[in-house]
Each structure stands twice: as structure tokens, then as C-alpha cells.
Structure 1
Amino acid sequence: MKIFNALRISLLATLASSCLLNVAHADDALKMELTSNQVVKNSEGKTIYTPVRTAPAGTVIQYKATYTNTINKDINDLMVTLPIPTNMTFTGESVPASAQASTDGKNYADMPLMRKVDGKMVKVPYSEYRTLRWNIKLLPAKKSAAVALNTTVN
């Protein structure tokens, strides 16, 4: 299955529009870089990340967004959101693990998401997760922070 440039553009647009900054001139304050890498374990069990543009079903892909504060002032309470592409299923792995998840892109809760079925609380399947968000409490001046999520190609 192909990972299209249009998907990257869509993710970039969503990410850029999801950032909430408490700084003047926020448009110039934050630079974001998005990468997609295939996640594989080598023979020694070490995780290797390799840039990828196309991948068959079943391939694990990590989407990583790196945010760089480009100004000489700290940014506090930076809320960032990373969508899960429609042709992907979230694996349950996020970095940092403090991410909250949403099935609709509006309502977020700590993971694992739960719902009531027949009077019992059950976990929401990862296949229903549509976005993750993180609160970067402090992004110091001229520093970077990264968030990531792993997905499997459907």
C-alpha cells in the first residue's frame, strides 16, 4: 500500500492547525517536521527506523513530529495533535506515552480508551482511534520536542 505525499500534506496541515501557543507571533515561533519510518527489529532485537514512502499491509510505520521553538522565549502548554491516517491502525504505542486519544478528533481521554458495553466497561479497539494529542508543558527557547505514534498499514 502506498503512503501518499497527499497524506503527509494532510498530516502537516492538521498538525499545524492543532498547535495552541501562548506566545505573541505564534506563526513564527514553532517549526514542525514530520517523518514516517518503517519500524523493524533487527536480529539482536534492536528497533530500527527506516524512512519509507510505500509499504505493504501489515507494515508498522511510525509517524514522528518534531517541534522546534524558533524564538528566544519559552513556549508553555503546547498542545499538539497527530492524526492516525484512515488506511492505518494505531498499535497502542506512542512517545511519550502520556498521549491522550480520541475516536472523533474532538473528545480526548487517557489511554486506553474505555466505553460501556452491556453494562460493563471495555477497552475501545485501537482500530477506532483517530487522533492522539500531547501537552508539551514547556518547550524552552531554541529547543525541540518530539511526539510519535506507531501504526500498522491496513
Structure 2
Amino acid sequence: MKRFKLVPNILLAALASTCVLGTAHADDTLKMDLTANQVIKNAEGKTVYSPVRTAPKGTVIQYKATYTNTINKDINDLMVALPIPTNMVFTGDAMPASAQASTDGQNYADMPLMRKVNGKVVKVPFSEYRSLRWNIKLLPAMKSATVSLNTVVN
């Protein structure tokens, strides 16, 4: 069985560089906590999450980023993005569902992404999604907001 090592710290570094504030803020204004968890259905059919560092092909992994406003002032129009690791395929599950997607990490559009093929408009396969982003309209002072996406080890 092939195993892939998940390296959340590398993803964390990439995420830190993709977080854009609507207005200029000090570097310590926003704290981000990233977790990688295996998505498991238990015997009762409920979804449970288990921290994971390595996983075999076909395992569903959820990346969840919690952004905390560490100052006593609201942050408006906070744009945050989560890149999809290269050895993973997006499942189509994102929270909140208002996420936009990108195939290049620069140009984003509402999901599902569409394109023209032979004159017909078709959905872009999830395997081509490279990043998701969310606009957190308001992050109140000293509060947190969480975004997540599910992937499958490829």
C-alpha cells in the first residue's frame, strides 16, 4: 500500500502567504491555525475527524483553517485561501459553501468552475482545482472564523 506523508506545516506556509486583508494591518492582527484530519464515518454513520500525518491513497483528508482576529477592532472583507496540495484531489466539499475555486491559484470564480469544450460549456473536474478562497465579510474583534475543504489522497 502506497503511503503519502502530509506536511501541514508546508501548507501552513503557503496559506500564510495567501491570506489577504482588505485593509493594512499589523502582522500580529490575524492568527491562523491549520489542521489536517482524516474524515471517517463511524458505526452510527456520523462523520468524525482524526488528526493525520500520513495516509494511504483514497483517504479523505479535511484541511481546516481557523482565523482569529487578535485585536480590539473588527476586520472587514478578509480574503483567505487554502491551496490544494499537489498529491490531493478536491472532493467538492467546502465550508462555508460560498468558496470560490481556482485552477491556477490566481484567477477565482464561483463553483462549480465551468469552461467551453468543443462549443459546449462543461464543468471543470475537481482534479484540476488548485486552490479555494473565501471572503470573510466581517471578522469581529477577538473572534474567529473557520474555513475548510476536503481532499482525497491521490
TM-score (norm 1): 0.95
Shift of residue 128, structure 1, vs aligned partner? 0.3
Structure with the bigger percentage of helix: 1
- Partner amino acid for 2:5? I
Q: Which residue of 1 aligns with 2:4?
A: 2
For structure 1, list consecutive stretches of 5 or more residues without a partner in the other structure.
none
Shift of residue 20, structure 1, vs aligned partner? 1.8
Q: Which residue of 2 aligns with 1:51?
A: 51
SS of the residue 2:33 aligns to: strand
Q: Which residue of 2 aligns with 1:30?
A: 30
Q: Which residue of 1 aligns with 2:17?
A: 17
SS of the residue 1:10 aligns to: helix
- Partner amino acid for 1:14? A
Q: Which residue of 2 aligns with 1:67?
A: 67
* Alpha-carbon displacement from aligned partner over 1:9-39 (angstroms, at most 9, x marks no partner): 3211221112222455430100000000000
Contact 2:22-2:79 within 8 A present in 1 as well: no
- Partner amino acid for 2:141? A
1:1-150 mapped onto 2 (5 Å cutoff): 1-5=3-7, 8-150=8-150
- Structure 1 distance, partners of 2:18, 2:74, is 19
Shift of residue 45, structure 1, vs aligned partner? 1.2
Q: 1:40 to 1:22 in 2, by over 3 A?
A: same
- Structure 2 distance, partners of 1:118, 1:32, is 43
What RMSD in Å do the two structures reach over aligned CA positions? 1.1
For structure 2, list consecutive stretches of 5 or more residues without a partner in the other structure.
none
* Alpha-carbon displacement from aligned partner over 1:50-100 (angstroms, at most 9, x marks no partner): 000110000000000000000000000000000000000000000000000
Aligned pairs, how many? Answer: 152
- Structure 2 distance, partners of 1:144, 1:9, is 20
State the 4+ residue runs in structure 1 displaced beyond 3 angstroms: 22-25
